[in-house]
Amino acid sequence: MLFAGRWCADPPHHHDMAVWEKTEVKWVTRQRPKTDRIACPWLIRRFIDPAADILYVPHDQVLATADRYGAHSFDAPGAEYTHRAAKCSFEVLLEEFGLSRDPALVRLAAIVHAADVADDLHTDPLGAGLLAIGEGGLAVESDDLRLLEKGSFIYDALYAWCQQAVAPPSQSATGDV
């Protein structure tokens, strides 16, 4: 389990989790994040709960950890927020928290979906690049929280690009003043 930037052989005992337990909203998912498990915490912290604490745990401990600490689980089998029908966890969060009105987030969701859902990699030209960044990140960073920190810049940059990509052309650019 990863806690406070260090790996623990076993889940931390209650006293080790004192700071995490005091957080209003806690979120837990599987360790070794690549695409959805970097994109979702970015979305959560940027648009849902800026003070959210994210915990990465072994895949078989996500639900028990969420239950034990009253945390929201995501992107894991049986999690509160996970793949549903044809949607990846990022898309589910957009829908659940009413964020799909933001066209830039919808555009970003298409990229995340393509990178996260193997059968849909071809659905967005930027998906393969995001997948490569996610897989490469796993190869160069062993600390999941640092990986999230570094990956957040990627999502900030992609979101900024998406905002520009979906923005209507300015009137001055079309010659209409």
The predicted pLDDT at position 169 comes to 84
Average pLDDT over residues 53-62: 96
Q: Is the pLDDT of residue 16 over 70?
A: no
Alpha-helical (H) ranges within 4-71 are 18-22, 36-43, 62-69
The predicted pLDDT at position 12 comes to 37
Residues 57 and 162: their CA atoms lie apart, in Å, by: 31
The whole-chain average pLDDT of the chain stands at 86
Q: How far is CA 150 from the centre of its chain?
A: 12
3-class SS of residue 27: strand
Q: What is the pLDDT of residues 108-129, one digit of tens each?
A: 999 999 999 999 999 999 999 9
- Contact 68/13 with Cβ under 8 angstroms? no
Backbone angles phi, psi at 49, to 5 degrees: -150, 95
Residues 34 and 28: their CA atoms lie apart, in Å, by: 15
Reported confidence tier of residue 21, pLDDT bands at 50, 70, 90: low
Residues 103 and 166: their CA atoms lie apart, in Å, by: 7
Q: Is the pLDDT of residue 18 over 60?
A: no
Q: Is the pLDDT of residue 20 over 90?
A: no
The predicted pLDDT at position 140 comes to 97
The predicted pLDDT at position 126 comes to 98
Measuring CA to CA, which residue among 134, 175, 173 is closest to residue 155?
134
The predicted pLDDT at position 103 comes to 97
The predicted pLDDT at position 170 comes to 77
Residues 170 and 177: their CA atoms lie apart, in Å, by: 9
Average pLDDT over residues 62-89: 95
